[in-house]
A and B are shown apart, each in its own frame.
Chain A
Amino acid sequence: MEIWIVLVVIALIALFLVTTYNRLVTLRQRVREAWSDIDVQLKRRWDLIPNLVETVKGYAAHERGTFESVTQARSAAQAAAQTGSPEQRGQAESALGAALLNLRAVAEAYPQLQAVQEFKDLSENLRDTEDKIQFARRFYNGNVRDYNTALQTFPTNVLAGTFGFTSEQYFELADAAQRETPKVSFG
């Protein structure tokens, strides 16, 4: 009789371990997939920059300082992507965003440039990409929050370390004009 009780208890513990482990794997996988969404959009922004700089150069060749700071910020962001954590990448990409904002402010001063179709297309593309970066960031941070919460709540927190799960970093962009989260209530 006792042997059965012991077996049932062991089976329950095994079941608990397996479901906990699988849930953490699923959550961590969601974080990774969301991160690759951000990565895609950030790369898309890098790819737009050389053409954008060339187009603006054609009309405002003497604004060299602005072009250089954009190009440097882009290289720094690419370097951060090679080695950096989400936090470091966030800082590098924020600097790039600020440099691009500056470039657009410079371009504003050249009315002929505003009329060029290629420039209009590039600006719209850049705007779309930056929107997508914002939304990808929200999706990623939401998934990180779910994963980190699971890691920190009892009883999962006891096992998470043993299984080798560690918390993930949020991706933050400093320069963006952020919209406030609406308060939702049902009732």
Chain B
Amino acid sequence: MAVPPQRLSIYDAVAANRWRTVLLIAAFTVVVSVLAYVVGEYAAPGGGVAALPFAVGLSGVSAAGSYFAGDRLVLAQSRAREIGPKEETELRNIVGTLAVGLGIEPPKLYLIDDSAPNAFATGRDPKHASIAVTRGLLDKLDRQELEGVLAHEMSHVVNRDIRVMLLVTVLVGTVALLSDWMLRSMWWGGRRRDRDRGGAGAILVLVAIVLAILTPIVAQLIQLAVSRQREYLADASGALLTRYPPGLANALRKIAGDTEALEVANKATASLYIANPLKDDPKFFDRLFDTHPPIEERIRRLEAMA
């Protein structure tokens, strides 16, 4: 009798991700409240406290919005279209097979019409999950490599990584947008007021300090939520699912070797993909946001499994 397959406990990963979701929403609410307080105080003395209910309301709406509709937002932004039931039979068969191996419903499939090979998964749980692949991925990878990539993405689905990643993408995107907008409006607004009255300079300093504190916290938050360990875990559980680690290893080598950047990807959505789609050499500051472990290390670990 064959030894029954060894499995990583996905239940642990699911529980950890439930905590991350709660932490993330709490941290987001705090950050937005701090921002609102500063804006409120700046507008009128005592206005900071008055702005807090709005901040909490805004946080709730954003969190609910990204939880329920964030996947559609991300897919639309990536210009992905849903694949019909009669198209791309091979892709559909592979995903269907992997879904049987994980005991879940097959996720919905989307195609991005771009020749750069890449893929991502999104959604909130296995019943509301989508996997998007590029045309280049289907053209450049053979069946076993494709199976490896899809097994990696399906692992993100069952581990509920997709939910955390979605919240990170949308909420952190919102914070970045808000602080960017604040910085601009205060910088220019403050300057104008500088001529009218004094004291605005002090507020500018305050804002600068708040932003200086905030940005690394946000970066740290992403690091916390999007730990590199999860990519290794998805690689490993994907390899366990297909019983063929070289499939994903070869796919990663092909994806890394491809010099073409994926045009529809941006800084906010980059961390969703199986490998960095931007192909840029990150500067020191961007490295704080670097959510993927080095691809050579991932390949080395996969090859050690075979």
Q: Which residues in A have some Cβ–Cβ distance to B below 8 Å? A: 30, 33-34, 37, 41, 124, 128, 131-132, 135-136, 138-139, 141-145, 170, 172, 178-186
Interface residues of B in 59-94 (CB under 8 A from A): 89, 93
Contact flag A181-B89 (CB < 8 Å), given A135-B100, A186-B232: no
In the complex, A33 Cα to B304 Cα: how many Å?
34
Classify the interface of chain A: helix, strand, loop or mixed.
Answer: helix
Classify the interface of chain B: helix, strand, loop or mixed.
Answer: helix
CB-contact partner of B100 in A124, A139, A145, A182, under 8 A: A139
Contact flag A138-B232 (CB < 8 Å), given A128-B96, A179-B244: no
Q: Which residues in B have some Cβ–Cβ distance to A below 8 Å? A: 1-8, 89, 93, 96-98, 100-103, 229, 232-233, 236, 239-245, 304-306
Give the shortest distance, in Å, between A169 (CB) and chain B (any CB). 10
CB-contact partner of B5 in A34, A128, A142, A186, under 8 A: A142
Chain A residues, CB < 8 A from B7:
142
Assess whether B305 is in contact with A135, with CB atoms less than 8 Å apart.
Answer: no
Chain B residues, CB < 8 A from A143:
103
The 30 sampled A-B contact pairs (Cβ below 8 Å) are A30-B103, A33-B103, A34-B103, A37-B100, A41-B100, A128-B96, A132-B96, A132-B97, A135-B97, A135-B101, A139-B100, A141-B4, A141-B5, A143-B103, A145-B5, A172-B1, A172-B2, A178-B2, A179-B242, A179-B244, A180-B243, A181-B5, A181-B243, A182-B239, A182-B305, A183-B305, A184-B236, A186-B232, A186-B233, A186-B236
Chain A residues, CB < 8 A from B243:
178-182
Give the shortest distance, in Å, between A28 (CB) and chain B (any CB). 15
In the complex, A33 Cα to B102 Cα: how many Å?
12
Assess whether B232 is in contact with A182, with CB atoms less than 8 Å apart.
Answer: no
In the complex, A184 Cα to B235 Cα: how many Å?
10
Contact flag A182-B245 (CB < 8 Å), given A138-B5, A141-B4, A170-B1: yes
In the complex, A34 Cα to B239 Cα: how many Å?
20
Assess whether B89 is in contact with A145, with CB atoms less than 8 Å apart.
Answer: no
Give the shortest distance, in Å, between B86 (CB) and chain A (any CB). 12
Nearest chain-B residue to A148 (Cβ)?
B4
Assess whether A181 is in contact with B97, with CB atoms less than 8 Å apart.
Answer: no
Max chain A CB contacts within 10 Å: which of B1, B5, B305, B306? B5
Beyond the given pairs A34-B103, A37-B103, 14 more chain A to chain B contacts, judged by CB atoms under 8 angstroms and listed by A's residue number, are A37-B100, A41-B100, A132-B96, A139-B100, A139-B101, A139-B102, A142-B5, A179-B242, A182-B305, A184-B8, A184-B239, A186-B229, A186-B232, A186-B236
CB-contact partner of B6 in A30, A181, A186, under 8 A: A181
Assess whether B101 is in contact with A136, with CB atoms less than 8 Å apart.
Answer: yes
In the complex, A179 Cα to B100 Cα: how many Å?
17
Give the shortest distance, in Å, between A131 (CB) and chain B (any CB). 5
Nearest chain-B residue to A37 (Cβ)?
B100
Nearest chain-B residue to A41 (Cβ)?
B100
Chain A residues, CB < 8 A from B244:
179, 182
CB-contact partner of A182 in B1, B3, B306, under 8 A: B306
In the complex, A33 Cα to B1 Cα: how many Å?
23
Assess whether A131 is in contact with B97, with CB atoms less than 8 Å apart.
Answer: yes
Chain B residues, CB < 8 A from A179:
242-244
In the complex, A172 Cα to B5 Cα: how many Å?
12
Chain B residues, CB < 8 A from A142:
4-5, 7
CB-contact partner of A128 in B6, B93, B240, B241, under 8 A: B93
In the complex, A142 Cα to B243 Cα: how many Å?
14
Assess whether B2 is in contact with A139, with CB atoms less than 8 Å apart.
Answer: no
CB-contact partner of A184 in B2, B6, B103, B229, under 8 A: B6
Chain A residues, CB < 8 A from B5:
138, 141-142, 145, 181
In the complex, A181 Cα to B5 Cα: how many Å?
6
In the complex, A182 Cα to B247 Cα: how many Å?
12
Give the shortest distance, in Å, between A35 (CB) and chain B (any CB). 11
Chain B residues, CB < 8 A from A186:
229, 232-233, 236
